[in-house]
Amino acid sequence: MLMQYDYLVTGGAGFIGSHLCERLILEGKSVCVLDDLSTGHLENIERLLSSENFLFVEGSVLSADIVTECVHKCNTIIHLAAAVGVENVINRPVETIETNVSGTENVLRAARHNNSKVFIASTSEVYGKSWKVPFSEDGDIVLGATSRNRWSYACSKALDEFLALAYNHSYNLPVVICRFFNTVGPRQSGRYGMVLPRFINQALTGKPITVFGNGTQTRCFSLVNEVIDCVLKLLETPEAVGNVINIGSTEEITILELARRVREISSSNSEIVIVPYDEAYPAGFEDMQRRVPDVTKLKKMIGICPEADTETIIRLIIENGIPEGKQ
């Protein structure tokens, strides 16, 4: 008889996915992971491979047959697989769009035929250049010109949301969509431009801490374990179905101040160097000046939101270290 799993986690060998899988296994759930290891790493889930409640399938969400096979084995789908990181998005725009859009379409189509609940991981990038801060889920989306592929990621994830909501409306598929705001923590790679692990690695190795832009842009960083708390609670909340929900901390910090705190907490002598965008990225790069979530809906639904402060997060990452070969 075909073994049934409680959860399918696409992208489960990645940063967020591996932490999520550990939590689910710890709670006694059975988990199937689908990951092509393009940005995920097998060592992230190595300790889970021997569990009888865990199955790893190496494959891509772009393969409709593999997705269908995996979905057929599972009751709930947590779809995390996506192109990640600003650098990856800029350097590999075709892969970004295809992975995000076609991959999500494959997951939703298979889930519809299996009548599975689906969690779709979206992103704060969807808000684009919106000036109305904090960002509310019902606020307008303001994206840049299509000639600047920086915005292809945001657009593709917005299309994922439209598609998921259409499946909910047209086929009554239970979907929950969440926009993550700068989720960080142990095991995250700085390889694809993620700012906090990059800063910490530079500080610990004595290299210059490179701040792109002028450093006045702000972000809100959320600890991965607290984000996972929110994800799992939302999956158990009927009111979350058919909704888009922000998940993030509301502690706003400039990137320059982040660099200073990393240097101070790590007791590093690294120099902080400002690198203009036109030197760090291809010509015409644009960025969000502020990225702050409105978490009113999240708190109303589940009563919690990520609250770990930036200093605590930095210390936790330093204690655990940045994985070798993933900087």
Residue 120 forms part of a structural domain: yes
What's the CATH code of the domain at 159? 3.40.50.720
- The answer to whether 10 touches 107, Cβ cutoff 8 Å, is yes
Residue 300 forms part of a structural domain: no
User: Three-state secondary structure along 253-295?
Assistant: EEHHHHHHHHHHHCCCCCCEEEECHHHHCCCCCCCCCCCCECC
Number of folded domains in the chain? 2
DSSP code, position 230: H
What's the CATH code of the domain at 273? 3.90.25.10
How far is 284 from 89, CA to CA, in rounded Å? 14
Token pair in block for residue 232: 């799992």
- Domain with 148 in it: 5-181+223-247
- The answer to whether 157 touches 126, Cβ cutoff 8 Å, is yes
End-to-end CA distance of the chain: 43
Residues 109 and 230 in one domain: yes
Each of the 327 residues of the chain gets a pLDDT tens digit; together they read 358 999 999 999 999 999 999 999 999 999 999 999 998 999 999 999 999 999 999 999 999 999 999 999 999 999 999 987 677 777 788 988 999 999 999 999 999 999 999 999 999 999 999 989 999 999 999 999 988 888 889 999 999 999 999 999 999 999 999 999 999 999 998 776 789 999 999 999 999 999 999 999 999 999 999 999 999 999 999 999 999 999 999 999 999 999 999 999 999 999 999 999 888 887 778 888 999 999 999 999 999 999 999 999 999 999 987 655 444
Residues 81 and 162 in one domain: yes
* Residue 153 annotated in active site: yes
Residues 121 and 192 in one domain: no
- The answer to whether 125 touches 100, Cβ cutoff 8 Å, is no
By residue count, the chain amounts to 327
Catalytic residue among 153, 167, 192, 281: 153
Pairing between strand 74-79 and 5-10?
Answer: parallel
Residue 299 forms part of a structural domain: no
Residues 75 and 202 in one domain: no
Query: Which residue, chain included where needed, has tokens 């006045």?
Result: 216
CA-CA-CA-CA dihedral for 180, 185, 190, 193, to nearest 10? 20
Distances (CA, A) of 291 to 116, 124, 196, 216: 32, 7, 15, 12
Residue 296 forms part of a structural domain: no
How far is 191 from 177, CA to CA, in rounded Å? 26
Residue 303 forms part of a structural domain: no
Residues 11 and 22 in one domain: yes
Residues 116 and 265 in one domain: no
Residues 80 and 123 in one domain: yes
pTM: 0.95
Residues 14 and 162 in one domain: yes
Residues 259 and 160 in one domain: no
Residues 114 and 84 in one domain: yes
Residues 212 and 228 in one domain: no
Residues 43 and 149 in one domain: yes
